[in-house]
Amino acid sequence: MDLALPAWLILIAGAGVAGWIDAVIGGGGLILIPLILAVAPGLAPVTALASNKLAAVSGTASAAFSLCRKVGVDLSLVIRFVPVAAVCSAGGALAASAIDKSLMRPIVIVLMVAAGVFVALRPSFGTGIAREAPKGVRRLIAVGAVALIAGYDGIFGPGTGMFLIMVFTSVLSQNFLTSAALAKVVNTATNVGALVVFGVGGHIWWTLGLVLAVANIAGAQIGARTVVRGGTGFIRAALLCMVIVMSSYLTYTQILGG
C-alpha cells in the first residue's frame, strides 16, 4: 500500500505524540492505532496493530532505558518479571482472535475507574513511604499480577502501563517514579512478546512500523524527561487523566459495538 506525503506526516506526528503518552503513563496506542486506520483505511486492522506494536516497543524501550539511567530499577525484579511478561504476552496475542473484545471492555473500564478512585482518595499512595520494600510473598504476588497484565496486553492492551504502575506501587510499596521506570521495562517485554507473534504471522508492515518507531522514540525521550522532571505528583495527575480518557474511550467504543 502506498501513502501520500501528507499521510506520512500525519502518522509521524501522531507517533511522536503516542510515544510521549506511552512514556508518561501508557496508552499511546489509543491515538496511533485509530490514526493509522483513518489515514490508511484499506489496511487490515491486524496490520495496523502489528505496525503500532513495532513502533511502541521501540519507544517504550528507549523510555525504559532513559528512566532506568535516571531513576534506577531493582535488577532482581527485572529478572523475575521480564521473562514472565514476554511469554504471557505472546500467549495472549495467540489467544486474541478467540476472545470477544466487547466482553473485556466493561471489565477494564471498571478496573480503571476503581484504580482512579483509589488513587484520588489516597494522597499518600505512590509516595513509597507506606511500608518497607516487600519480599517473598509480595514478590510472588507481583509476578502473578505481571503474568495476568501481560496476557491482557497481548489480547487487548489499553491501560497496560497504568495497571503495571498500580501493581508495582501497591504490591512492592514503591513510589510512582520508581514504579514507572520498572513498568516501562516490563511493558517493553510485553510488547516484544506480542510483536514476535505478529512477526511470525507476517502481519507487520515493516516500512510503516520502522518509520513510526523513529518518531515514537523521539516522543518517548521527551516523555521520559517529562516524567523525571515532574516526579511522583505529575505521574499521579497523569494517571488520573488517563483513567478518565481511557474509560471514556472504551465506553464510547462499547456503545458503538466496535
Residue 132 has pLDDT above 70, yes or no: no
pLDDT score of 3: 87
pLDDT score of 188: 95
Residue 65 has pLDDT above 70, yes or no: yes
Q: What is the pLDDT of residues 92-103, one digit of tens each?
A: 888 876 777 677
pLDDT score of 8: 95
Based on the number of CB atoms within 10 Å of its own CB, is 123 exposed (0-12), middle (13-18) or buried (19 or more)?
exposed
Q: Which of 122-136, 142-156, 240-254 has the highest mean pLDDT?
A: 142-156
Residue 133 has pLDDT above 60, yes or no: no
Domain range for 210: 5-256
As a whole number, mean pLDDT of residues 131-144 equals 77
As a whole number, mean pLDDT of residues 8-28 equals 92
- Angstrom distance (rounded) from CA 94 to CA 150: 12
Residue 149 has pLDDT above 80, yes or no: yes
Q: Which of 37-46, 97-106, 167-176, 198-207 has the highest mean pLDDT?
A: 198-207
Query: Residue 36 — very low, low, confident or very high, per pLDDT cuts 50/70/90?
Result: very high
pLDDT score of 45: 84
As a whole number, mean pLDDT of residues 50-76 equals 92
Residue 150 has pLDDT above 90, yes or no: yes
Query: Residue 257 — very low, low, confident or very high, per pLDDT cuts 50/70/90?
Result: low
Cβ 118 vs Cβ 243: under 8 Å: no
- In the chain, % of residues over pLDDT 90: 44
Alpha-carbon distance values, 164 to 9, 172, 205, 239 (Å): 32, 11, 28, 12
Q: Which residue has the cell 506494536?
A: 53
Total structural domains within the chain:
1
pLDDT score of 29: 83
Residue 59 has pLDDT above 70, yes or no: yes
Alpha-helical runs (H) found in 74-159: 75-95, 101-121, 137-155
Residue 254 has pLDDT above 80, yes or no: no
Q: What is the DSSP string of 38-65?
A: HHSTTS-HHHHHHHHHHHHHHHHHHHHH
Comparing 137 with 91, which gets the higher pLDDT? 91
pLDDT score of 124: 64
- Angstrom distance (rounded) from CA 206 to CA 51: 7
Q: What is the pLDDT of residues 180-208, one digit of tens each?
A: 999 999 999 999 998 999 899 898 999 99
Cβ 127 vs Cβ 232: under 8 Å: yes
Average of per-residue pLDDT values in the chain: 87
Phi, psi of 175 (to 5 degrees): -80, 165
Residue 227 has pLDDT above 80, yes or no: yes
Residue 46 has pLDDT above 90, yes or no: no
